[in-house]
């Protein structure tokens, strides 16, 4: 009776293995624990035409910053120093669109050229203009990007376009937001597609190697496309077909073994 029982156990193991649809994916396999690795810290987004910016001005006397935080409205100050606004009241949450010349129209200050600058640089430019105009002595300026979006396609759990709360997202974060790489995805060949000076550039990345951190595309830019190449052309036909075939063979083997065991 031991021999039929052995066949049943083997058949059951085959059945379980055929139902296993994925294997563990090992990222950064060549990194050693406790080992320090350098990375490129200069990854701040460069503003370009058609970007949408959120700009907020603040100071110790909030009423002085009101004119810089309200658009398309008239600002008035009464005898007590209270500030009030009239008009459409479009607030900075709407965002400042960078025009094709790379400029924005900012309250009080007028036209400001922002294309080609980092967000922190734009904040410094606005701050200096406010001080030079003797409007506020110690303004605090915050600039954020409102339209940072990227797309993930290919062998990931969730294809689509994603938005970023801020101006920074890494390739690994983008993959994680898309639900991780599927079992049929090539972790050694993940492409990032970016438009640079009107041309498309493609750079391949190996998610199993620390060399990924050295890539100029590791930190994504707005409108980047991440493409995870599948290991084969038709996942549904080849991968699932193989699993179904293995499942049927395992069931048949288990059935034959069971019948043989009971007849013995």
For the chain, the average pLDDT equals 78
The pLDDT assigned to 45 comes to 84
Which contiguous run of DSSP H or E holds residue 200?
Answer: strand 199-205
**What average pLDDT does the segment 237-264 reach?**
60
Q: Over the stretch 173-206, which tens digit does the pLDDT of each residue have?
A: 999 999 999 999 999 999 999 988 888 999 999 9
Q: Over the stretch 58-75, which tens digit does the pLDDT of each residue have?
A: 999 999 999 999 865 444
- CA 183 to chain CA mean position, Å: 21
pTM greater than 0.85 (yes/no): no
The pLDDT assigned to 22 comes to 46
The phi, psi pair for 252, rounded to 5°, reads: -65, -45
The pLDDT assigned to 75 comes to 47
**What average pLDDT does the segment 106-123 reach?**
95
Query: In the predicted model, is pLDDT for residue 235 greater than 70?
Result: no
At residue 36 the predicted structure's pLDDT band, cuts being 50, 70 and 90, is low
Query: In the predicted model, is pLDDT for residue 79 greater than 60?
Result: no
Enumerate long-range contacts of 6-11, CB under 8 Å, 24 or more apart. Answer: 7/253, 7/257, 7/260, 7/261, 8/254, 8/257, 8/258, 8/261, 11/250, 11/253, 11/254, 11/257
CA triple 170-174-179, angle to 5 deg = 145
At residue 135 the predicted structure's pLDDT band, cuts being 50, 70 and 90, is very high
The pLDDT assigned to 168 comes to 85
């Amino acid at each position: 009776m031991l021999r039929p029982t052995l066949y049943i156990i083997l058949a059951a193991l085959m059945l379980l293995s055929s139902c296993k649809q994925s294997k563990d994916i090992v990222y950064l396999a060549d990194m050693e624990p406790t080992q320090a690795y350098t990375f490129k810290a200069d990854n701040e987004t460069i503003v370009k035409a058609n970007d949408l910016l959120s700009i907020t001005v603040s100071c110790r006397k909030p009423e002085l910053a009101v004119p810089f935080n309200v658009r398309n409205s008239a600002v008035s100050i009464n005898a007590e120093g209270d500030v009030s606004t009239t008009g459409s009241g479009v607030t900075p949450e709407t965002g400042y669109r960078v025009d094709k010349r790379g400029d924005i129209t900012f309250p009080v200050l007028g036209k400001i050229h922002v294309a080609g600058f980092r967000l922190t640089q734009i904040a410094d430019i606005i701050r200096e203009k406010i001080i030079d105009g003797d409007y506020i002595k110690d303004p605090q300026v915050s600039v954020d990007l409102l339209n940072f979006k990227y797309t993930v396609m290919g062998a990931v759990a969730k294809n689509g376009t994603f938005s970023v709360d801020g101006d920074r997202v890494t390739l690994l974060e983008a993959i994680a937001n898309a639900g991780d790489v599927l079992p049929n995805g090539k972790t050694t060949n993940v492409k990032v597609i970016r438009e640079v000076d009107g041309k498309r550039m493609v750079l391949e990345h190996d998610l199993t190697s620390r060399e990924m951190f050295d890539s100029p595309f590791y930190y994504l830019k707005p409108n980047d496309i991440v493409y995870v190449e599948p290991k084969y052309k038709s996942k549904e036909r080849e991968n699932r077909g193989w699993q179904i075939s293995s499942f049927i063979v395992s069931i048949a083997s288990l059935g034959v073994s069971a019948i043989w065991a009971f007849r013995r």
